[in-house]
Structure 1
Amino acid sequence: MDKTNYPGYEELSEISFAEVERLTKARLPLIIPWHPKQMVPLGTFFHSTKKSEEYPWAKNSPFDPSSLARTAMIVGRDYGSQSTFKSRSTSRSTQTVDHLELGFGVGVGLPFLASVTVHGDYCKDVQENKDSNKTSINFSTRAGSVFFERQPRLSYDAIGTIKYFGGLEAFHEKYGDYYLAGYRLGGDTGILVSGSNSFRKQLEKFGITVTVEVLFVEASVTHTKDVLTTSAGSEVKVIGYDTLGYTRYNSSAENDRSSVADVRNQAEDYVEEARNLDLRVSDKLDELEIRDGDVVDESVCRELVEAGLVVELMLLPAITLRDVQNWVIEDDVI
């Protein structure tokens, strides 16, 4: 099934389009979630006007090839990591967007992202979940970035476009209005537990238990008893995603001891993986021998992408490039 056709996708895509429109109009950076299935080199330009298309990346670059090749790409690694935790509970079947807002960058509902990211899978599963009561948690960790040491210079063709053939508007139309300035290294994990009305108190207690676990307090087993004592005919579901492993979770069980216990054990495994997300990211970076201050080439960047460590792309407006600014206001003839 095409993920862009699932029920509720239209609502999510509208939110994504509106947010991208707001940011691009204000010429603010775009931070979009990414995945290990596609390598986009630093310096690639992006057409925000083509955000509804499957491939919004520019085919031509305004950067001078030799300047781009000489521009070093540097690793900035945060050894302490920056980790966050969020949790949300709702009690109506229509309240799904609340759970979609946890842990995503801009535009997860855009076609070129929804069709390939585990975020997109999670959105599909959440939108299709009609249970009344939901508890979701999100873990995020950011361990550094890869960025240009300096800005590459524009080619003569790009300068000529600005100077003689239409100015900044023509430049945007030909090359794009944003460029890929950096990769954010890290990971995201999201988990949603849901059930029917008869399951409300048990879900609430499950959510509290998970929160306690996240805060590194000794884990309790109260939710185990709760799940096993739900009324006949109730159902528990666990869905989620993990960007580092490029995996998604989707389990459910009716109220019989064995199947509910299986789902419970799976949920506990997911939470444990999520709790250790920062360590997992750090270990994988160490495995690839990525250190702070390293100068890397495109092959190393590809390894980072394929390892699931590039969790977000950092896109900056083309107008932030010094060469673009200079030639927009320059009066001299070349």
Structure 2
Amino acid sequence: MPEGHSVHRIARQFDRNFVGRVVTASSPQGRFAGGAAVLTGRTPTRVRAVGKQMFLEFDSDVWLRVHLGIYGAWDFAGEILLDPTIASANGRMGQTGQRGTDAVFDDAGENSLASIGAPRRARGAVRMSEQTRGLDEDLEEWPPAVVGQVRLRLLTETMCADLRGPTACQLQTPDEMLATVASLGPDPLVDDPAAGEERFLAAARRKPTAIGQLLMDQKVVSGIGNVYRAEMLFRARLNPHTPGREVPEDVLRSLWRDWVVLLPIGVDTGQMMTMDGLDAESYRRAMASRDDRHWVYRRAGLPCRVCGTAIVLEEMAARKLYWCPRCQA
């Protein structure tokens, strides 16, 4: 499932490539035909990302809400104007078809550029999600042919965005959008960090639920998924089974402050980098391989990087949980 950093990256690409441009909308799959008919001919005016959800505003007070869920993805094609504020990433998190870029790929299809460059256009196709590889073939027709089950296609004169497999794709009024956002926990890139910290603290401290589940509850805190959950708990040396109301206040505050640090790193690099203090070569190696990027995630049975104890893999609320039974005892 895409975590918060990837949704913020997708929102930035919509901001650069669709806001202010009239769109033609369609639903090749047919499941969003009515919504597409409402959107066609309108102009996106603003985009918001909150946690794992994106909200795209159109003129005449119409909002498109998209929650990618586990299988959702946006495919972009056309004259893509890349965001200069983030390192572009090919494969599962970013851009393909670029020229003259120094990219670092890993065996899962993720990569991060060595530096953040100026805005540039790239002719090609792009997939932005957490689960799927990018497309780097050159386009031979415009608009590109529809491939597979496309819930929604947004098309401008130079850009095409295809939405596949989302958990939610719906139109909302401004009040409905605000109500949805209000139901979500704080997001460090949306909320004031100090106010967000107090909201997170208040929500977590009144719950008997295990902290490992609370970090994944989007009503408690927005954007954290399986990877960040495992890594943040290890960085805090916190047992994931500890009830939220039993976690010391200073530890809860440190969890929120760690999220404030980690989320922008993920947005800027396209990678869920959770290792600290790496030298230049170690950092590049970590960008190229998740085996060198994480403390415990996907390291079941391997020795803990700190104490040498075998990392445990178990299920918590039907999701995989990785943790060190000694460091996080």
TM range (shorter): under 0.3
Q: Output the TM-score relative to the length of structure 1.
A: 0.23
Give the structure, 1 or 2, with the largest relative contact order (CA under 8 Å, sep 6 or more): 1
Rg (Cα) greater in structure: 1
**Per residue, is there more helix in 1 or in 2?**
1
Q: Output the TM-score relative to the length of structure 2.
A: 0.24
